[in-house]
Amino acid sequence: MNGLTDSLSTWGNRQLLRAGFAWDHSHDPRLTELRTFLETRLLPFTTVTSAPGAAAPGIGYAGVPHGLVKIHQLLERQRDQGRPTRPPLRGTIDRDAVLTGRQLPPGDLVAVGCTAEQAARLPRRAALVLPYRLHLIVDLPAEPGAWRRNVSRRERQWGEARRHDPEVGLEIATDDASFDWFYDHMHLPTMRERHGERARSEKRVRARECLYRQGMLAFVTFGGERVSGTLCVWDKATSTLTLRLVGVLEGDFSLYDRGALRVADHLLLDWADQHRISHVDFGGTEAWLSQGTFRWKRKFGARAAAAPNHLANLAVWWHARNDTPAVRDFLVANPALERLPGGKLRAVYFEDAHRPARHDLSHSCANVTEARTVHLDAYLADLSADPMQSNTVTPDPAKLDPAKLDPAKGEPTDVRPPGGPTVVR
């Protein structure tokens, strides 16, 4: 009897895990529409504000709750570049007041996470509408090896040299011991090293049940030693291999410099090509071109596609409320992909007389070819005329609890974290 009870309990726990995972990641339009409806039309919006620093803009966010991690904390990381700042203040805000322009969180720069239709109705002065979440996907041609023709010349040459290096190998694993070793000695240490107290990822039990059971681990080996790992999910129905969790051995940054994660992309594309998989999804990124995932994965001829879950229904209204040197620095250092009617993407760069546009942060990928450069004097002109300027309401401090702020989800890229700020002076 005890054995039956334990079996039923285990089965029930697995079903709960799968239900929670489906709520977050399902492709089923019935579920994605339901979640979008609840978060954008029924539940109150969440708000958070990070105070400005000596040379850093204050950043406010209002909208769907997971935007605190996916949008606001990303913007904080881009702003702070590892420098300590005061904890942000979190609370709730009236959804209708935000979407009608009667209330916004304080901040020099403000992001609102909502549906694309809601974002399109917000004022356009000093504002862009961005995709909430993008995935970088490489489509593999039917001809074996033809994918390499779409890789940038320098990246292709680098990958070919490593691919033919006898000391570099790829090990595929599906056993439980390999999962636990990867999670403890690669993934978690890498999250801690890259994101510190903001680090967050899939819990071990959910990652094992909902990711690993449908996929595999791909370890890069140098001289037979595992130096990096990638947990991949293989969806045979759509012929897609999705990279979900990554890490380097014990979070050692020197392995980034040795190409332990960079070569994994080449080897996994080659493996997928050999197994006649049609698409390799490098995972999610946000719409700012300074993000490492976009900067590096685009070199493989990837296309930027809408997220394959409920996040595809969302957008970010990205607004500058004040014209300050810190705001200008941030906008120039972080060009973005704006969402055009029909879902098309276009890059937007900023510049002024003292800050050249960051065209070194290339936007070019398989389906993003258009760009515009905006002069900040014109973009930020007459901000005092913005109807939201005089109607911004500061949240009640008594309702804000910094201790409740979620840590940032850890999603490492294949490049070592920068050693300093990307601010353009």
CA distances to 56, 242, 306 from 239, rounded to whole Å, are 44, 10, 17
Note the pTM of the prediction, 2 decimals: 0.85
Picking from 73-87, 103-117, 384-398, which range would have the lowest pLDDT averaged per residue?
384-398
- Of residues 309, 304, 310, the one with CA closest to residue 291: 304
Q: What are phi and psi of 420, to 5 degrees?
A: -155, 180
Structure confidence at residue 80 (pLDDT): 82
Give the per-residue pLDDT at 102.
85
pLDDT digits (tens, 9 = 90+) for 252-283: 999 999 999 999 999 999 999 999 999 999 99
More confident residue, 128 or 54: 128
At residue 84, does pLDDT exceed 90? no
Domain ranges of the chain: 2-38, 44-133+312-355+377-404, 141-277
CB 122 within 8 A of CB 328: no
Confirm if 244 and 411 have CB atoms less than 8 A apart.
Answer: no
Confidence label for 82 from pLDDT (cuts 50, 70 and 90) = low
Q: In the CATH scheme, what architecture does the domain 141-277 have?
A: 3-Layer(aba) Sandwich (3.40)
User: pLDDT tens for residues 359-403?
Assistant: 999 999 999 999 999 999 999 997 754 434 433 333 333 343 433
